Amino acid sequence: MHEVGLMENALAIALNYASRERASRIEQITLRIGDLSGVEPDALRFAFDVVTQGTIAERAKLIVESCPTLCFCHVCQTQFQPTQWDYECPTCQTWSMAIVQGKELELTSLEVS
Amino acid sequence: MCTDCGCSQVDTAKVQIEGEPHHHHHKHTHTIEVRERLLAKNDSFAMQNRDRFQSCGLLVLNIMSSPGSGKTTLIEQIAKSKGDRAHKVGVIVGDLATENDALRLKAAGATALQITTGTACHLEADMVSHAASHLYLTNLEILIVENVGNLVCPAAYDLGETLRVVLLSVTEGEDKPLKYPTAFQSADVVILSKIDLAEAVEFDRETAIANIRRMAPQAKLFEVSARKGLGMEAWLNYLQSLMLLEVCR
């Protein structure tokens, strides 16, 4: 898995924003991770502790907001949440792979001091 | 309230140190809205790659599958094509270790370059960019990136390809598209490989195709045995038609 690489990217983004704001510490990092992103939140947490060592984000709090998968049903014109293996609209039983949410891999916000 | 900075933190600890009139021990935290994609850097490299490949008129395939699904054998057959379908093929091969695949591909007539990724489970756009700078792109017609054998991680990384090709061999089980939705959802082409072994492994073709169609309705489907040459004509004709259409230009 590539959680360490992703966390290195997240840290680089965070350090960049923190230095722009002349912050001396990063207290909290919030990520948004989609269920379809192929990323394990627990592995992210582990990677976070490793990559932040010796940086101003060391001992920062990591918040991982998970994003459930959402599909759009073209028949009902509504969104629905598929189960892991089943992308059928619960109302009309039409199969839909029109994914509107679930692939997110994003750093949403930082708390700095 | 702290009289120096006006903050309203009540548990402020003020420490007076000689020579320093006012010293804070409390934290002034504030929130910064970021909303930046973790793969933004990769995506920008991918965009640069795409521009570069397009300016060379290259058709670029990013081939991904589990280990042992037949990626290298499939690419060997593309490189060995004769007549109208003979093209100058360049291959960038990603593997955790060994140069075996690159050697096989060179023997098949391709210009091949191996990226040994060590522990990395996928290729990233800047690795491809770096490797591509060692190839004479203007001398090539097709550039094939053979990704690291893995159906999870490579799916998240755009490499700047024209076509994303996902292989599923008949020995892997019919439900693989359901287990690895992200890879199949992102495919432009799905290739069912090793069909010559289907009977021996009691492969349920109908179920597998239904699963592929469900998870990857957007993808073109080919059924091949690269080793035995079955179904290869349709796949090679398709590549040929893309080159004639100049979709990559």
Angle, CA B224 vertex, CA B221 and CA B229 arms, to 5°: 145
- Domains of chain A, residue spans: 2-68+102-112
Between CA B201 and CA B176 the distance in angstroms is 15
| pLDDT for res B15 | 43
| pLDDT for res A1 | 59
- How is B144-177 classified by DSSP, letter by letter? EEE--S-SSGGGG---S-SEEEEEEEGGG-TTHH
| Residue of chain B nearest A27, judged by CA positions | B29
**Residue stretches of chain A with pLDDT short of 50:** none
Contact B38 A111 (CB under 8 A): no
Q: Is residue B40 a part of any domain in this protein?
A: no
Query: Are the C-beta atoms of residues B43 and B158 closer than 8 Å to each other?
Result: yes
Other CB atoms within a 10 A radius of the CB of residue A3 amount to 22
Q: How many domains does chain B have?
A: 1
A41 contacts on B by Cβ (under 8 Å): none
Q: Is residue B69 a part of any domain in this protein?
A: yes
Query: Are the C-beta atoms of residues A111 and A26 closer than 8 Å to each other?
Result: yes
Find out if CATH 3.40.50.1000 is the number for domain A2-68+102-112: no
| pLDDT for res A65 | 95
User: Of B166, B176, B182, which Cα lies nearest the Cα of A69?
Assistant: B182
Strands B189-193 and B111-116, sheet pairing: unpaired
Q: Is residue B28 a part of any domain in this protein?
A: no
Can you state the angle between helices B125-132 and B40-55, rounded to 10 degrees?
Answer: 30
Give residue for tokens 């990395």. B120
Distance from A29 to chain B by nearest Cα, in Å?
10
Taking chain B (249 residues) in consecutive chunks of 10 residues, what is each chunk's mean pLDDT?
A: 44 46 67 95 96 94 96 94 83 84 88 83 93 93 94 92 97 92 94 97 96 93 97 94 72
DSSP B204: -
Contact A2 B120 (CB under 8 A): yes
- Letter string b/e over residues B154-181, b meaning 16 or more CB atoms within 10 A of that residue's CB: bbbbbbbbbbbbbbbbbbbbbebbbbbb
Contact A17 B218 (CB under 8 A): no
How many angstroms from the chain centroid is the CA of residue B119? 16
- Binding-site residue numbers of A for Ni(2+) are 2
Between CA A5 and CA B156 the distance in angstroms is 12
DSSP B229: T
Query: Are the C-beta atoms of residues B59 and B88 closer than 8 Å to each other?
Result: no
Give residue for tokens 């598929």. A82
Q: Is residue B29 a part of any domain in this protein?
A: no
Contact B39 A105 (CB under 8 A): yes
Strands A26-34 and A61-67, sheet pairing: parallel
- Binding-site residue numbers of A for Zn(2+) are 73, 76, 89, 92
| pLDDT for res B23 | 53
- Letter string b/e over residues A41-62, b meaning 16 or more CB atoms within 10 A of that residue's CB: eeebeebbeebbeeebbeebeb
Residue B115: which CATH number?
A: 3.40.50.300
| pLDDT for res B210 | 95
Distance from A50 to chain B by nearest Cα, in Å?
16
| pLDDT for res B244 | 81
- Domain hosting residue B212, numbered range: 57-247
First-residue to last-residue Cα distance in chain A: 32
| pLDDT for res B164 | 97
